[in-house]
Structure 1
Amino acid sequence: MIRVLIADDEYLVRSGLRRILEATGDICVIAEAADGTQAVTATRRHRPDVVLMDVRMPGTDGLTATGRIAADTNVIMLTTFDLDEYVQEALGLGAVGFLLKDTPPRDITAAVRAVAAGGAILAPTVTKRLIGSFARRDRSAAAVARQRLEPLTCRERQVVRAIARGLSNAQIARELTMSEATVKAHVSRALSKLGLTNRVQAAILIHDADLD
């Protein structure tokens, strides 16, 4: 069972998301929060597998809260505001997903499952803009990104490049002929060497290095 925490200042949004998620049978909502402070407290108390986090909330907002909990859980930003500044900051703070609130229910549940399994998910419009921004970056930025990847072993680099292609741990294990446990170990070591907190940041670094 995938355990989810919903953080949104609107009760109707929380209620609607709860109904969508719990209708699946394999996802349960273990807690709700109406602001960022509650989200941080509830995350530390309940240890959810995934947090659906609104960006704009009173008091402590979703971005601030994400920065405090992203190292301990998987955060998907779910918001009405499809703004580049939010996307870049959310990913930089450690979020592993960014979806809009008008995302179809089946895609929200699919995103929760993907993130709980170690993947990452971005709204299609967000993905297109990120790819565009990578294409505009200059060669010096690519050189810096490649230099950051130098401490990785050959196997770690293969795993990180597979992450950048959107593969899950199970898919990487099949492609590289290794166990999922070994993949997880390579991912953990690679992220540690790179000073990153999640797979999305690793994928962005691979794109920056123009190695995807």
Structure 2
Amino acid sequence: MPDPTTPHPGATQPPPPQNPFAAPPTHRLRVVVADDNPVVRAGLTALLSGRPDIEVVAEAADGRQAYEAAHQHRPDVVLLDVRMPGVDGISALPYLVQIAPVVMLTYSRESEIVQEALRRGAGGYLVHGEFTADQLVDAVRDIKEGRAHFTPTAAGALLAQLRQDRASTPPLPEGLGRTSSATAYGIPTSVQSYTQSQPAVPSAPFSPSTASPAPTSPENLSQVQPHVGQSSSGWTSGRPAAPDRSRFQLSTREAEIMDLIASGMNNQQIAATCFISEKTVKNHINRIFAKLHSTSRSEAAAKWIGTAPDTHRGLG
């Protein structure tokens, strides 16, 4: 006689009981990556998508695409480059922050651009070559929670602005030490000064055709740095491109690696960004040095960005 406690072979097995102490499934942090360099976009997407709690839901090549992607996917965080063709990152920034927190992730390191990005609502500013992969992931997670992140160059620009504001602050009213709040005298703290200088949120929807800048000073990025509407391929670490780079006769890959060298990246970071081995990076660098008649990274970078003494006199 069969055991009544043994289930019939064809019977449906009941699901196993759920563990009441198991952690609930976590929400994956959704990210939009906006950068006009497809290699950088691919590298960032691969790096972030490799984390179990992060998902890159869309990529964008300029500010217009970034806004459209953010509007469609409603991400938790937007990674935004500064210099992109068409609608640049600074112009798109006030519209994007209405949808999700934005962290600038760029080679542009000028203090004026860092300060303008903060005025327009950026929640952080990271300069390529100044952070590790883990630090980037931590920054993305923290930006979602409202915790700002700045790499050393951006932090220095912010500190310089705060010092400048402090130098222009009038003497404190007499008796200030007897009150518990400086705001009683109308004196904003350093954080409040940036908050109060934020532009009003644009009331009109983002218009890709007009890309109206936020009502801040300077009115748009082109007044901060010329040629902003041009592709970032003409820029290296936020500095103007050297004239007539064609004379160096670098291949497309060598020019890309030279851009990364000039931005301050080491061989390991370049290999990760370009998805090649460090040995291949070294081989490229040897050929680059030969073509630029350089014996060091700093010498090659100076010639590439146009600051070497012999830049305009030929290679010699």
TM range (shorter): 0.5 to 0.7
Secondary structure, in 3 states, of the residue corresponding to 2:98? Answer: coil
Residue 128 of structure 1, CA deviation: 2.5
Three-state SS of the structure 2 residue aligned to 1:140 is coil
Contact 2:123 2:146 in 1 (8 A): no
Alpha carbons 2:49, 2:56 under 8 Å: kept = yes
Corresponding position of 2:169: 139
Q: Quickly say closer, same or farther: Cα 1:131–1:28, change in 2 above 3 A.
A: same
- What is residue 82 of structure 1 aligned with on the other side? 109
Instruction: Look up the equivalent residue of 2:78 and give its one-letter code.
Output: V
CA distance in 2, matches of 1:141, 1:71: 37
Instruction: Classify the secondary structure of the residue corresponding to 2:83.
Output: coil
In structure 2, the residue matched to 1:167 is: none
- How many residues align structurally? 157
Gaps of 5+ in 1: 150-159, 165-189, 198-212
CA–CA distance in structure 2, aligned partners of residues 54 and 27 of structure 1: 19
Q: Deviations over 1:67-95 (max 9, x none)?
A: 21112211011111211121011111101
Deviation digits for residues 89-113 of structure 1, max 9, x if unmatched? 1111101010012221111111001
Bigger Cα Rg: 2
Report percent identity of matched pairs: 39
Structure 2: how far apart are the matches of 1:101 and 1:30?
A: 22
| 3-state SS of 2:55 partner | strand
Q: CA 1:142–1:132 in structure 2 vs 1: closer, same or farther (change >3 Å)?
A: farther
What does the per-residue CA deviation read over 1:105-152, in whole Å, with 9 as the maximum and x for residues that have no partner? Answer: 111111001101121111122213322332233223989x94275xxx
Cα RMSD between the aligned structures?
2.7
Higher-helix-fraction structure: 1
Structure 1 pair 36/121, CA: closer, same or farther in 2 (3 Å)?
Answer: same
Q: Secondary structure at the match of 2:82?
A: coil
Aligned residue for 1:177? none
Distance in 1 separating the partners of 2:113 and 2:136: 19
Change (3 A) 1:135 1:26: same
Q: Is the 8 A contact 1:148 1:194 kept in 2?
A: no
Paired position in structure 1 for 2:33: 6
The equivalent of 2:267 in structure 1 is: none
The within-5 A match list for 1:69-108 is: 69-102=96-129, 103-108=131-136
Runs of 4+ in 1 over 6 A off after TM superposition: none
3-state SS of 1:38 partner: helix
Unaligned stretches of 5+ in structure 2?
1-27, 174-181, 200-316
Aligned 1:36-55 pairs, distance under 5 A = 36-55=63-82
Shift of 1:11: 1.0
Q: 2:81, 2:89 within 8 Å by CA — same for their partners in 1?
A: yes
